[in-house]
Every structure is written in structure tokens, then in C-alpha cells.
Amino acid sequence: MSDDFDRRLARLTRRGFVTAAVAAAAAFGGWKWLRSRARIDGAPWPLRRVLEANESLASAWFSPKRLSPEFKPSQRTRPRINGHLGLAENADMAQWRLTIEGAAAPVSLTLDEIKSMPRVEMITELRCIEGWSTIVKWTGARLSDFALRFPPANAAEFIALETPGRGYYVGLDMASALHPQTLLAYEMNDQPLNWHHGAPLRLAIPVKYGIKNIKRIGVLRYSASRPADFWAERGYDWYAGH
């Protein structure tokens, strides 16, 4: 009885080892094949095609009436500091301006001029593509109000946003930019933005992952073609919606 059990156990062990070895070899071969594929915007083309399919699904699901959940003040969580790209430590905030390019006339706005626009508050979840999230109160002006006051000179389907000096930049489809919860925010949890969180002006767009929530916006540009995006050029999803 014991000998028979040992023989069956040995067969199962050998079979399990062979199965695991075949699976490992297939996975390694698939990984090598994927790594050898031509790259599009920082990602092997099969992965880029998957990201494009995800974008098609997300954009089809998008609606300006579908709002990100809002929360009570008591549900706010501790803000997390993450990402300093484009945040020059020696930046002179007194000289900061928001430049709008592609508008009917040249526009350069101070923070006080931005604050004169209708004030909007919301408490929403900022979701990072790395998997963590935080619930934050944002105060600012709707990007859609900017588009009404400073409309594009020509037909535009996208908006590009850049930090001063273009250390960081994102692109938005116009529908997402005009979503009612997309804010040019100047306060966080009832306090002016600090350096770590993108003073004096940042994007708060809860229908997108954190990589789109650009800090210290210096340039807003209307565009007829899809603008460059910092992380999309490095293999991430350009659309980055959820």
C-alpha cells in the first residue's frame, strides 16, 4: 500500500514539475516575444493596442452626466505627496501667470483673475494609477467656464496643459476637459495649494487617474490634434479615465 502511494505521488510530482516547467517556458517565451515587438509611445505595440481598446471602452462609457462620487467633509483623508515633476523649487510665484494659447485673443491671467471666476467646491477621490487613493476637497473654477470666457479661435478637440518650462505635460480630450467636475483648483482642503501639491494652480479631474491631475499649470493650449502626454510617451494609457 505504501509503495503504491509513493509511486502515485512520484508520478504526480513529476507531472506537476513538467507542467510548471512548460508553463514557465511559455511565459518566458511570451515575455521575450512581447519585449521584441516594435514600440509605440514607449510600449510594445500589442500592449499599446490593449490600451487603445481600453480607451475606446472608457470613452464610450463617458458622459458629462456621470459624476464621480462626492463625499462628506468628515470623509476626507490625509493628502498624499506624490510627484514633483515640473515643480521647480526656485519658481517665483509672484511672476506666475496662466497663459492660454489658441484662444481668439492672447490671454495671460493672474491667480486673482482666476479667482474672480465662479467659485466651485467639491470633495472627490483622487485615484493614483499605482493603486492608492485619497479623498480631497478642491476649490477652484470649472475649466468649462474658462472655455466659455476664452473660447478657442478655431475648432479644437483637445486641451494641452503644461507646467512652466514644460517639465510635465498632459493632454485631455475636450469632453473630459469640459466635464462639470474638472476644476482649475487653487485650494486644497480649504487652504491655498502649497508647493508639494502644485501651487498656485493645478488640475483636479476626478474622472481621470492622478497622472492627469497636473500640478502648477503654466500653459493651457487648445489643440485640433491629440497633444503630447508625459506618461503616455512612457508606456501608459493616454486617456487614463476610470
Q: Report pTM.
A: 0.78
Q: Burial, 48: exposed, middle or buried (Cβ in 10 Å; 0-12, 13-18, 19+)?
A: buried
Q: Which residue has 493650449 as its cell numbers?
A: 221
Q: Per the structure block, which three cell numbers stand in for 207?
A: 474622472
- Taking residue 67's Cβ as centre, other Cβ atoms within 10 Å add up to 14
- Distance from C-alpha of 152 to C-alpha of 162, rounded to nearest angstrom: 17
Contact residues for 105 (Cβ-Cβ < 8 A; gap 6+): none
Residue-wise pLDDT tens digits, 30-67: 445 435 556 666 666 566 676 676 666 667 667 888 89
Contact residues for 19 (Cβ-Cβ < 8 A; gap 6+): none
CA atoms 183, 187, 189, 194: torsion sign: positive
Residue-wise pLDDT tens digits, 107-131: 999 999 999 999 999 999 999 988 9
The pLDDT of residue 23: 44
Q: Which of 176, 171, 165, 172 is nearest to 233 (CA)?
A: 171
> CA torsion, points 46, 52, 56, 57, in degrees to nearest 10?
60
Q: Are 150 and 100 a contacting pair, CB within 8 Å?
A: yes
The pLDDT of residue 34: 39
Contact residues for 136 (Cβ-Cβ < 8 A; gap 6+): 76, 77, 79, 123, 124, 125, 126, 188, 189, 204
- Taking residue 187's Cβ as centre, other Cβ atoms within 10 Å add up to 17
Q: pLDDT truncated to tens, each residue of the chain (242 aa)?
A: 566 656 665 565 665 544 544 444 444 444 454 355 566 666 665 666 766 766 666 676 678 888 999 999 999 999 888 889 999 887 888 899 999 999 998 899 999 999 999 999 999 999 998 899 999 999 999 999 999 999 999 999 999 999 999 999 999 999 999 999 999 999 999 999 999 999 999 999 999 999 999 999 999 999 999 999 999 999 888 999 98
The pLDDT of residue 48: 63
Q: Which residue has 491631475 as its cell numbers?
A: 213
- Distance from C-alpha of 129 to C-alpha of 152, rounded to nearest angstrom: 31
- Distance from C-alpha of 123 to C-alpha of 142, rounded to nearest angstrom: 14
